[in-house]
Structure 1
Amino acid sequence: MKLRKVTAAAAAAVVLSLTATACGGDNDKNDSGSGSGGGDKIKIGIKYDQPGLGLKEPDGSFSGFDVDVATYVAKELGYKPDQIEFVETKSADRENALARGDVKFIAATYSINDERKQKVDFAGPYLLAHQDLLVKADSDISQGTDLNGKKLCSVTGSTSAQNVKDTIAPKANLRQYGGYSECLAGLQSGAVDALTTDDSILAGFAAQDKYEGQFKLAGLKLSNENYGVGVKKGDKETADKINAALEKMVSDGAWQKAVDDNFGPASYKNEPAPKIGAIVK
């Protein structure tokens, strides 16, 4: 094999090119965060339409339990609140957002299950919720009600409505919308009979001032939902750091404060903080 001689000018060009590439690499920190702290910004996936959990307020700020958890975790990873960029991550796009590197991690009522673990890794769990139904205050739907033929709403990408069909009402009519706010509007108008998802999410909606007295929880515990923090598949380093942050959040009282601040107004009876890695089936 013949080797070509490298002239001094060519060598200098190579050095300059490498130097420019190294300098330009700093811009990568603006994408999803390095996960080791010290980056310019970290992008975190949350929901924008879940009161009490992940909500974008009219003034552009964010509130909710997931937001508080994400902010605490980001702090432990080395990021200040003004270095956090919250990115709306809908249920149907969570795995893709992590695979594409759109966000560093996701805290968005993201239940840990075997199917999802094939595509992403999880830290946590950090909250144990249960699937329930939200119905109108004067509805006769309650525990033991025959839901066959009833119109049940949930969001695209969620397993909640399908779980109702698989377990108690195979002839229920499923309506899947893009967001929970659309389901709530359908429930309010009578287009659907019930909105089904986790009790924590439903409690957040029912507690809003504008819906005071209009809705109630049916009181069904149809499943155990172990909320985890999703990270890109194979990113064990970030998952381990997040687990350490979650443990600290529980031990220093910040976890319970976040529960009280976000779910207290709805009289939501939460489960105790789960142990890291302990999945309740």
Structure 2
Amino acid sequence: MHRWLRIPFAAAIACGVVLSLAASSLAETVMEKVARTGVLTVGSPLGIIPFSYVNDRQELTGLSVNLVELIRRKLEVQVGRPVRVEYAPINNLGDMVPLVQAGAIDVTCGSQFTWDRDQFVDFSIPYYYSGIQLLTKKTSQLNGSPESLVGKRIGVIPNSLGETVIKTIQPRATLVTFNEPQGALAALVSGQVDGVAGDSLILAGAVLRLNSDEYVQVPELPYTNYGIACMTRENNSRFLNTTNLAIAHLMQGYLVGDEKYTAMIDPWFGPNGLIQIPEDRLRDYFTTVINSHESIRLPQ
């Protein structure tokens, strides 16, 4: 139901050249574009366990991939025609917000909500939460305290929340930039950096790839917390409503034990998932989000 879409002008995003190229797409809403073309363009960072990554069978998989499939199904009902997903691989995470702003992609999920980003793009309701931590070797002297960061080489993604947080809590840390998490992780393994600053859930997924007990996430409590959501262009309320409804159905389905929905979450989160989250914590979070809106009847 989906295929890959290459974005050859991704590098131009950073300097704003692509804005003129995408101007025509901004003249219509996401829903109008999907109704006209039958295509939903989804930005997808690769190698981001548990949200979107390529597995051993060379299949794109993850919690966000499952969520996008729910959104696609709801779009088909909304626009009254078949809809397919085109995935646009995003290699430089710093391009994500400009790509959404420019209309080069319609939506991306697994995104960190921040108030700064919310000035430029719109976010769905969150479907879980995370925070910023450090991944380091257990033998390292890094314990996550600001003092332990002095003079240490910390891998970060440019313009990321991880970079901002480390700059704020310890200006005397030495920041080493990488365009994607895999490069930062490789530098940690080889000893080029002392730690990597990033999203707690993504760092936990990185440890799975390392398949080693030599690494630890610090500090125990993240430096900052935020919701994980889908991100789309501003002023696309109908598409945002459809996305929110898909997320609500996913969480409600999990809470009532519907196998269709639990199967979309259990492989990634939960006591037996790749990222092991206590079931009561997951259920409490889903309940809080649902109750802050409305309990809903699941589609048949």
Q: TM-score, normalised by structure 1?
A: 0.76
Matched residues in 1 for 2:57 and 2:267: separation?
19
8 Å contact from structure 1 (residues 135, 215) kept in 2: yes
Name which of 272, 275, 278 aligns with 2:289. Answer: 275
Count of residues in correspondence between the two structures: 244
8 Å contact from structure 1 (residues 130, 222) kept in 2: yes
8 Å contact from structure 1 (residues 187, 194) kept in 2: yes
Name which of 135, 148, 151 aligns with 1:149. Answer: 151
Unpaired segments ≥5 residues, structure 2? 1-29, 255-259, 293-300
Structure 1 segment 99-248 matched on structure 2, within 5 A:
99-107=101-109, 109-144=110-145, 146-167=148-169, 169-208=170-209, 210-218=210-218, 219-248=220-249
**SS state at 2:266 partner:** helix
8 Å contact from structure 1 (residues 47, 88) kept in 2: yes
Post-superposition shift, 1:59?
Answer: 4.8
Moved more, 149-158 or 173-182: 149-158
8 Å contact from structure 1 (residues 104, 231) kept in 2: yes
CA displacement 1:127-179 (0-9 Å, x = unmatched): 21111111113334224462111111111231212212213x22111111010
Structure 1 segment 26-105 matched on structure 2, within 5 A:
34=32, 39-57=37-55, 59-78=57-76, 83-89=84-90, 90-105=92-107
CA displacement 1:44-64 (0-9 Å, x = unmatched): 112112122211346542112
Matched residues in 2 for 1:255 and 1:131: separation?
28
Post-superposition shift, 1:36?
Answer: 6.0
8 Å contact from structure 2 (residues 38, 82) kept in 1: no
Matched residues in 1 for 2:71 and 2:33: separation?
11
Return the index of the structure with the highest Cα Rg: 1
CA displacement 1:213-271 (0-9 Å, x = unmatched): 23222224111121221111111111111111111111111665444312423434565
1:262 matches 2:268? yes
Matched residues in 2 for 1:57 and 1:95: separation?
26
Matched residues in 1 for 2:103 and 2:164: separation?
29
CA displacement 1:193-224 (0-9 Å, x = unmatched): 1111111100111112x433232222241111
Give 2:138's aligned amino acid: A
Matched residues in 2 for 1:239 and 1:138: separation?
46
8 Å contact from structure 2 (residues 31, 238) kept in 1: no
Matched residues in 1 for 2:192 and 2:54: separation?
26
Q: TM-score, normalised by structure 2?
A: 0.72
CA displacement 1:109-136 (0-9 Å, x = unmatched): 3212222122111111122111111111
Matched residues in 2 for 1:104 and 1:207: separation?
30
Matched residues in 2 for 1:162 and 1:56: separation?
29
CA displacement 1:47-90 (0-9 Å, x = unmatched): 11212221134654211222222222222222899821211234
Give 2:268's aligned amino acid: N
Aligned pair in 2 of structure 1 residues 58, 261: CA closer, same or farther (>3 Å)? closer
Give 1:267's aligned amino acid: Q
Aligned pair in 2 of structure 1 residues 65, 135: CA closer, same or farther (>3 Å)? same
8 Å contact from structure 1 (residues 200, 268) kept in 2: no
8 Å contact from structure 1 (residues 36, 78) kept in 2: no
Give 2:217's aligned amino acid: L
Unpaired segments ≥5 residues, structure 1? 1-31
